[in-house]
Structure 1
Amino acid sequence: MRDRRLFNLFAANSKRGSFRADAASNTIELYDLIVSSEIEAEWYGGVSLQGFAKAMRGMAGTVHVRINSPGGDVFAGVGIAQIMREYDGEIVAHVDGYAASAASVVAIAADKVVMAPASMMMIHKAWTWGIGNADDLMATAELLEKIDGQLAEGYAARGSKDAATFMNLMAAETWLTPQEAIDCGLADEMAGEKDKAATNARARWDVSAFERAPAPPAAQGDDKIRAAVEAALAERDRQDRDKAAAIVAAEQERGQRRRRAQLLARTA
């Protein structure tokens, strides 16, 4: 499915991500957009269904899929999820930043979902746009309803709430914290506090294409820079105040000396 907002998401995040598979450690890093084809991957960056399938063929035993993705093509996400479900072994999904939109579909296909403390999972109704007459647009709406129904059923199959509840959450474009994802059954546990990279991971992506996206987090490096600048400005302000106070004191001293001189001149 295609929508102008999806194109905006792709354009804003083109070439920002990375996709890596390491058979030695059985780890796949899906830190990228989810795109519909290898041609689209060449244009925007991102991982396609074909690319993910190729990576999975090199794996054996327990596989760790590390996810930081703003989402992308819903059918590619569904296909990747199916490849994961058919894998002959355990798959653990680690949400290191965002598992948004189609990336949430990928995450919940794992046998176990672990979310970093500052990570987020987002679910929403499918996007598209249509051209044609009333019949064409009604057919497009019916297709979207079917896709939304399938997504809601998928969340319900993994989660602890029914499909109707998940449909309402999708309609609200819901951004779930780790605890909220655990509470509705889409995640199993939260990673330890030692994992503090999620804020930096989320800061990589521009998610402004979504209607209810949270404010972009500041990366830890940006926090350090901001703190250093604020400290420098505070020190400059302190120095300026000290200089101003010294000038005032000097003027007061000069004024007192002038008044004393004037008084002596009158009494001489």
Structure 2
Amino acid sequence: MERNLKNNFFEIKNLSENTAEICIYGTITKWAWEEYGEISSANFAKELQKLKNISHINLRVNSPGGDVFEASAIYNLLKDYAKVNNVEITGYIDGLAASAASFLVLCASKVVMGTGALYMIHNPLSSAYGNVEKLKKQIELLDTVKEAILDIYCSKSKLSREEISEKMNSEKWYRATEALEAGFVDEIVENDNSLENIKNISNELHIENFINQDLLKEKLKEIENIKNIGGITMPKSVKELLNEYPDLMNDYRNQIINEIGENQINKIEAAIKAERERIQILDGIPTLNDSQKEIINKAKFEEPRDPKDIMAEFFMSNANKANQEIQTSKTDISNAGLDKIPPSNTDLGDSSVENEIYEAALNIYNDENK
């Protein structure tokens, strides 16, 4: 009898020469009643290895989660493939990334979430029966699995391990803006298909085994209400953003403070350097008297001045003083009558020259005293 095989929950295909697309649309599981590996992580590994010479993978997710071990295997397959082949993975949450799908998508170096999409984390689930010892072992296994999942969440989220653990205990549902604030995603994009994608996947047969259907319906209703009043794309004031996303806004505030701080430090260092250079130039200006030295000392600290202004002042002061001294010398020469002495080519050492100077000075004196 021919078996009716289930559709794969994933599809791997090439979009272009160097870009591939992997769609995980459905419940992540391995159907035990079908041939081993037909729709499982083992089959996923085979399909993944067929991709050659690619540099980028777009991982598109719309899944309620499923088998935690299958999801973990696919997570590690993609992480290893990206590392070995130097491939960048961008994850897109097209509708729902819940339960095991919520950590699987974090294998991407960048996670993009559509408006209207949902992201959910909770504690791992299991069904068990048996005696006390068997149930204790099952509890230990669930605790171990939770710690492994926490390791993945902590590698991405801004929240502490304790905070994430508490949110898993209460089955936390995130809208796109909340997931961004918590650090599970890196970017939000407009996606009008998110709600429709979630509705389609919520009709899947086995979804009730992995998430709370009532909570899902409640979250869908919330998003529909927000979208109907334009809340998804409605601009917000700074006050509203502070109230709704305090952690995100605090990070942004700290970033601005750090940038301003670095800018101020650069300005301060430049000012210190300029001041040191100014003082060095002042120290190099030659002074002729104590008054000029006092001007230099005051210009350093008490009355800061541009060295160029002081050099110009000193130049004019020295020039004026020199001019005054020249004029005084000319006046003294004129008063002494030395300017009226005729020039002589005779050696100054000759006594006749001395006599001539003496006679000329005597004549001038007699003329002035007649």
TM > 0.5:
yes
Identity across matched positions, percent: 28
> What is the letter of the counterpart of residue 215 of structure 2?
A
For the 8 Å contact 1:152–1:164, the answer to whether it is kept is: no
Report the CA distance shift for 1:40/1:164 in structure 2 as closer, same or farther (over 3 A).
Answer: farther
Asked if 1:201 is matched to 2:175, the reply is no
TM-score by length of 2: 0.50
Asked if 1:48 is matched to 2:44, the reply is no
> What is the letter of the counterpart of residue 200 of structure 2?
R
Residue 33 (structure 1) shift: 1.2
The residue aligned with 2:131 is 133
Q: Which has the higher contact order (CA 8 A, sep 6+)?
A: 1
Q: Deviations over 1:189-244 (max 9, x none)?
A: 011x2x211111001123555336221748x9xxxxxxxxxxxxxxxxxxxxxxxx
Report the CA distance shift for 1:86/1:15 in structure 2 as closer, same or farther (over 3 A).
Answer: same
Partner SS, residue 22 of structure 2: strand
Residue 18 (structure 1) shift: 5.0
Asked if 1:80 is matched to 2:74, the reply is yes
- Larger-Rg structure: 2
Extract unaligned runs of 5+ from structure 1: 1-13, 221-268
The residue aligned with 2:162 is 164
RMSD: 2.7
Extract unaligned runs of 5+ from structure 2: 225-370
Task: Spell out structure 1 runs of 4+ moving beyond 4 A.
Answer: 14-18, 39-43
Instruction: Identify the match of residue 216 of structure 2 among 208, 214, 220.
Output: 214
> What is the letter of the counterpart of residue 14 of structure 2?
A
Q: Deviations over 1:55-102 (max 9, x none)?
A: 322332100011101110000111100011112211111100111111
The residue aligned with 2:64 is 70
Report the CA distance shift for 1:70/1:132 in structure 2 as closer, same or farther (over 3 A).
Answer: same
For the 8 Å contact 1:66–1:93, the answer to whether it is kept is: yes
> What is the letter of the counterpart of residue 178 of structure 2?
E
For the 8 Å contact 1:100–1:122, the answer to whether it is kept is: yes
Superposition pairs of residues 98-113 of structure 1, within 5 angstroms? 98-113=96-111
Q: Deviations over 1:81-125 (max 9, x none)?
A: 001111221111110011111111111111110011111111110
Higher helix residue share:
2
> What is the letter of the counterpart of residue 184 of structure 2?
L
Asked if 1:121 is matched to 2:119, the reply is yes
Report the CA distance shift for 1:214/1:16 in structure 2 as closer, same or farther (over 3 A).
Answer: farther
The residue aligned with 1:174 is 172
TM-score by length of 1: 0.68
Asked if 1:32 is matched to 2:26, the reply is yes
Partner SS, residue 60 of structure 2: strand
Q: Determine the C-alpha separation between the residues in 1 that align with 2:166 and 2:61.
A: 25
